[in-house]
């Protein structure tokens, strides 16, 4: 890039890969694999088939059933902005269903989902079936 008599060399990772770094792919794949493995184990602990964790929409539907919420809540995932708040409620309910605190629901499951799911799935948390809530 040249501005008047000065020349600037811009060869950072962002420009070499069009604003994208291969490390982002690696981090994303690790996070996705950890989330999938954790959700699989959570489903198994809750008496649901583990393979359901890899099926889009069906996994969200089963998660709602695990926390005692009605299946129509799945539609709330499709509404922008509402889905963020709704995901917080689901995270809090999931933490409660496994005997964890609200703090774990917010920090572990809402903010750091892969880590929180791994703790629930591979840890000593026990599932207690909640009553159906409306």
pLDDT at 71: 93
Per-residue pLDDT of the chain (134 residues; tens, 9 = 90+): 556 566 655 555 555 556 677 888 899 999 999 999 999 999 999 999 999 999 999 999 999 999 999 999 999 999 999 999 999 999 999 999 999 999 999 999 999 999 999 999 999 999 998 877 65
pLDDT at 66: 96
Which tokens in the block code for residue 56?
Answer: 């889009």
pLDDT at 11: 55
DSSP one-letter code for 111: I
Residue 98, judged by CB atoms within 10 A of its CB (0-12, 13-18, 19+), counts as buried
User: Please, what sign has the CA dihedral across residues 88, 89, 90, 91?
Assistant: positive
Own/partner contacts of 12-21, CB < 8 Å, gap of 24 or more, are none
pLDDT at 129: 86
Dist. CA 70–CA 76, nearest whole Å: 11
pLDDT at 68: 94
């Amino acid at each position: 890039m040249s501005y008047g008599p000065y020349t600037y060399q811009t060869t950072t990772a962002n420009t070499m890969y069009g604003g994208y770094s291969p490390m982002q792919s690696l981090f994303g794949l690790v996070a996705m694999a950890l989330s999938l493995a954790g959700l699989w184990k959570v489903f198994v602990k809750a008496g649901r088939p583990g393979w359901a964790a890899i099926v889009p929409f069906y996994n969200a539907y089963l998660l709602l059933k695990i926390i005692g919420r009605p299946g129509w809540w799945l539609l709330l995932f499709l509404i922008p902005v509402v889905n963020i708040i709704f995901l917080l409620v689901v995270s809090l309910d999931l933490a409660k269903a496994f005997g964890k605190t609200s703090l774990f629901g917010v920090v572990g499951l809402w903010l750091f989902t892969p880590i929180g799911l791994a703790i629930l799935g591979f840890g000593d948390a026990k599932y207690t079936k909640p009553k159906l809530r409306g």
